[in-house]
Amino acid sequence: MQYVIDKKVLVVRTIGNVLMLGAFVSIIFTFWPVGSAFARYAWDNLTGKKFEAVSEIGATQTFGSLLGKSDSNLKVLVPKDPNFSIIVEKIGADAPIIPNVDASSKAVYTEALKRGVAHALGTSFPGQPGVTYLFAHSTDTIFNVPRFNAIFYLLKDMVPGDGIVIFFGGKRYDYIVSETKITEPEDVSYFTMKTSEQILVLQTCYPPGTTWKRLLVIARPVSTVISAQ
């Protein structure tokens, strides 16, 4: 009788341990990309590593190097796709942009986000009046967030005055962040905004690794910001 009871206890404990191990593995699987991105960013800051986009398509030099400035800790970022790419120098982000992605179609944007950042269908392109809306997020299960959200994990560290570089149609477009805001997932005010200004909006999930809210980074062309000062 004692042997039977001990065997049942052993089975229950084994099942409990397996469930705990499964939960632990799931947490690691979900949040490892977030943690590794933060760790890399912290290490880059600690070692003084910097990132700068090339001055133009086909070039191998940055604006700083063209001015005779050199830095051994500087890494030159070349756009992944000269036709449409984003580079965020502060966080070392460099990714292709998939144009005209239907944000209302889960199948369409899920496939696009596997390849890069998505440009929302119906929004403007760089150099055109209106809102250029870019997103890298997942509204699927939390287990898919790491695969689709990694490019923009560190956008939470962006502040007004930071730069964003977009390469589109073989040309470089420079933007300066004007504000950041955290919104509800249902907020589409910037997505549907009609304006004659040129506005760039980057959207990601917030907090990183979740789909609870949205973080928006709003930026405007450098020329517009300078002329307004």
Tell me: the pLDDT tens digits for 153-182?
788 889 999 999 999 999 999 999 999 999
Question: Tens digit of pLDDT for each residue in 115-134?
Answer: 889 999 999 999 999 999 99
Write down the pTM of the prediction. Answer: 0.75
CB count in 10 Å sphere of residue 34? 19
Closest CA to 154 of 31, 43, 37: 37
Domain ranges of the chain: 2-228
CB count in 10 Å sphere of residue 94? 19
Give the dihedral of Cα atoms 184, 187, 191, 192; nearest 10 deg: -170
Q: CATH fold of 2-228, please?
A: Sortase; Chain: A; (2.40.260)
CB count in 10 Å sphere of residue 24? 10
Closest CA to 152 of 212, 76, 84, 204: 204
